[in-house]
A and B are shown apart, each in its own frame.
Chain A
Amino acid sequence: MRIIEQEQIIEAVAKMCIESNIYPDKDIHEGLVAARLRETSPLAQFALDSILKNADVAKRENLPLCQDTGMAVVFVEIGTEVHVNGNISEAINAGVRKGYKEGFFRNSVVADPLNRINTGDNTPAVIHYDFVPGGELLITVAPKGFGSENMSAVIMLNPSDGISGVEDFAVECVRKAGANPCPPIIVGVGIGGTIEKAALLAKQALLCKRDDSLSQHESMETRLLERINALGIGAAGFGGETTALSVKVLTYPTHIAGLPVAVNIGCHASRHARCRI
């Protein structure tokens, strides 16, 4: 049994909150640079230039890329040979509290969705646990802004709706989102499982790299990306060539009667950090 102290988790989570909010995701940044080279619309060029300049300013001035520093979504893979001294959820929340305070980030979480009083420290995080073999703890911190989260959607399709039903729903979701989720976006599509499993898959799909060669759904991803970019929404919704930088699809076995589909949209400042303890 390997012992991991709460303090190690707190420090690691705090550091990941700060770094992920300030430094642009390398993969997305490369996609944005390529999009700028392709772009022909002057307004979209202006938007992409602003987005790229913003990344430089954030790095130079130690400021978060976006004022919406998000609700902290944390994925934890716990090795079965690991023992955490103390409460792991409390340690993660303490890390979020510390990171958001030290980073001078916005507190965007309300304690009750109906009474809406700000918790004042951006906690609690949304935490997903999984168990894996081994003696390590793998933590991913993915702060999620709500401009894009609000534009996400779930539907319970019929099996007869098939591949075209899934693709039409995803494209319609992006069309309806328009300029709101801060395009160029990344799109995560979760198909199968149950309603919550599909939503979780869609969120996990946002953590995939653009050119993830392991994808089993490359043809669907390619078709969706083409249809979404044909919408012409463009950077900042100003009209242009690139509405999405990537579409990633994850699937899971499902029930004979169902075809759950979730679409999770990530903005151009989508971010995450990973660390192994």
Chain B
Amino acid sequence: MVKHISTPLRDETIVSLRAGERVLLSGDVFTARDAAHKRITALLDKGELPPFEFDGQVVYYAGPCPAPPGRVIGSVGPTTARRMDSYAPQLIESGLKVMVGKGERSSAVIEAICKFGGVYLSAVGGTGALISQCVEKSELVTFDDLDTEAVYRLQVRDLPLVVAIDSQGGCIYERR
């Protein structure tokens, strides 16, 4: 009933996911919020490489709390995905296929997900303490001056998610 998936995600796996399905994600996810997206798209505009390889990888819209002593990370739940909607289509065109956040996406993002065979997964907003228990390792990737808004690579085990928008345009929010 609950699917286990792990990174790097293969295209067949990504397009097989259907809106409304629950998944447990293991492997790496890369955090990025508004400020990091602004910088990543600026790099792409200049024809430079993104700070991590997009192929098969996952972007997690999140800005963690600092790690208390003896811990890997502080609370780290999803942030509102909508704020990344203006950047997301460009990232998807550049090869990013999997996004994790919370809340509805714009029609431009849904179109890009369908066109390029991506998927948008929702974590449960406001459960940052619980989600922090799935994080086994955290390391800074880039933009350290952005503090919580920097890009971190989180190694996660069984991160509980719901498929919110799938590659066929299926969407759990559509009933409204």
Contact = CB atoms under 8 A, between A and B. Distances in A.
A binds B: yes
A169 interface: no
A269 B126 contact: yes
Contacts of B65: 63-64, 67, 69, 104-106
A61 interface: yes
Contacts of A238: 122, 162, 172
Nearest to A49: B124
Contact of A61 (B129, B175, B176): B129
B102 interface: yes
| Most A CB within 10 A of own CB, among B62, B68, B125 | B125
Contacts of A106: 63-66, 74, 148
Contacts, number: 145
Contacts of A175: 176
B122 A57 contact: no
Given A43-B162, A67-B63, A106-B74, A237 B129 contact: no
A65 interface: yes
Contacts of A62: 68
A66 interface: yes
What's the dominant secondary structure at chain B's contact region?
loop
A180 B75 contact: no
B86 interface: no
Interface string B146-163: 011100000000001010
A195 B94 CA distance: 45
Contact of A57 (B20, B67, B129): B129
Contact of A179 (B35, B63, B64, B103): B103
B168 interface: no
Contact of B175 (A104, A150, A239): A239
A94 interface: no
Interface stretch (B3-11, B42-50, B76-84): B76-84
Contact of A51 (B79, B124, B176): B124
Nearest to B133: A57
A31 interface: no
A118 interface: yes
Interface string B1-39: 000000000000000000010100000000000010000
22 contacts: A47-B124, A50-B127, A51-B124, A54-B126, A54-B127, A57-B129, A57-B133, A58-B75, A58-B129, A63-B75, A65-B126, A67-B77, A69-B65, A104-B65, A106-B63, A118-B148, A147-B79, A179-B122, A182-B125, A236-B122, A236-B162, A238-B162
Given A104-B74, A106-B66, A116-B35, 6 more contacts: A63-B128, A66-B75, A120-B147, A178-B103, A179-B125, A267-B125
